Amino acid sequence: MPEGDSVFQLSRRMQFMRGREVLATSLRVPSVALRDFTGRKVHRVWPYGKNLFMQFGDEILHTHLKMEGTWAVHPKGQRWRKPGHTARVVLDLAGEQTIEVVGHSLGLVRVFNEKDYGDQIAHLGPDVLAPLFDATTARRNIEAAPGRSIGEALLDQSNLAGVGNEYRAEICFLLGVHPAARVDTVDVDRALEITRRLMWANRNSPIRVTTGVRRAGESSYVFGRNNRACRRCGTRIVKAELGDRIIWWCPRCQPEDRRSPDR
């Protein structure tokens, strides 16, 4: 599932849509199939955590890539690279040449009025990649469940929006804590400082790097490195599950806390 920096970059690539008139609309999801933006201009396109928003007049299209979603842009009439049955959103936009903007296999497609935007994102915590990240609110959200694991707390989008499994693994390594460590044993302010620093540094980079090394196979400390030597101490990286997600950690650099998270 793409993380917040991937959606941030997607939004940046989609800025060409702004100011263009919609010539045709096809929303291929039953709940919004009758909504139509035709004749309206694209007012703006922006990310919030892992979510992408597009505004047409007073209506907002909210999409989420989930596991398999992608966006593609084609000149009108050009054959799509992905099969047509995967398209969930198709927008024809005016310009020197009519183009089709297609959202394939999107995990979420919703439409709501702009006045409801605040209510529609109220369930999300502060966006890590906002110009000013509200770390105080994020800390308060995380610390509200002191017996929960820090790994689960970082992935919870109601605490802070944008962190995915790769960042979760790297944040915990740099913090020196096991992903299953209880929140009340962790320096949450430090965790959030690392989170913001890592994601902000990668927000414009097509290659996600947490080690500072942009060579193939050297860009992460623990993520995806099961059974390989820790870059710091040489201990073999371990892989297991926490909840329904995979975790990676170094047993020496990230010793397991004896106090188990509440269940």
DSSP 140-201: HHHHTSTTSBHHHHHH-TTTSBS--HHHHHHHHHHHT--TTSBGGGS-HHHHHHHHHHHHHH
Q: What is the pLDDT of residue 65?
A: 97
Closest to 197 (Cα-Cα) out of 212, 187, 218, 186: 212
Instruction: Give the CATH number of domain 135-249; options: 2.60.40.420, 3.30.750.24, 3.40.1440.10, 1.10.8.50.
Output: 1.10.8.50
Structural tokens at position 124:
């999300």
Structural tokens at position 193:
């400082």
- Could you tell me if 172 and 151 are in contact, meaning their C-beta atoms sit under 8 angstroms apart? yes
Which residue numbers in the chain have pLDDT < 50?
258
Per the CATH hierarchy, to which homologous superfamily does domain 4-120 belong?
Answer: MutM-like, N-terminal (3.20.190.10)
User: Which residue matches tokens 């290659």?
Assistant: 207
Please, is 22 exposed, middle or buried when counting C-beta atoms within 10 Å of its C-beta (0-12, 13-18, 19+)? Answer: buried
Q: What is the pLDDT of residue 206?
A: 85
Tens-digit pLDDT profile for residues 85-137: 999 999 999 998 999 999 999 999 999 999 999 999 999 999 999 999 999 99
Q: What is the pLDDT of residue 99?
A: 96
Domain positions in the chain: 4-120, 135-249
Closest to 211 (Cα-Cα) out of 201, 203, 221, 202: 221
Q: Which residues are identified as catalytic?
A: 2-3, 50, 245
What is the spatial distance between Cα 11 and Cα 45, in angstroms, rounded to a whole number?
6
Q: What is the pLDDT of residue 262?
A: 60
